[in-house]
Amino acid sequence: MKTILSNESQVFLRKINMINEQEVVYKFGDLFIAENSITGTKRQLDSIPTHVMENSAKPDLLKG
C-alpha cells in the first residue's frame, strides 16, 4: 500500500536536499520512494531521518 508522507515531512526532506521541488515521497511497504511528479521517475531513498520514519508510521485519524 502506498502512503504519502505528510507535508511537513516533504518540506523537511526538501530542506535537507534529499528530494527536489518536483519530487514527492511515499512509503511503499517498508521502502521510501521519491517520485518525480512531472516525469514519473522513481528512486528509492535509503537513509531517511528517524523522525520522518516515525511520523510516517502514525495512523491518521478518521473523521466521521
Residues 44-64, mean pLDDT to the nearest whole number: 68
pLDDT digits (tens, 9 = 90+) for 8-50: 999 999 999 999 999 999 999 989 999 999 999 999 998 887 7
Residue 35 contacts residue 23 (beta carbons within 8 Å): yes
**Side-chain half-sphere CA neighbours of 7 within 13 A:** 0
Global confidence as pTM = 0.79
Per domain, the residue ranges of the chain are 2-57
Q: Which residue has the higher pLDDT, 61 or 11?
A: 11
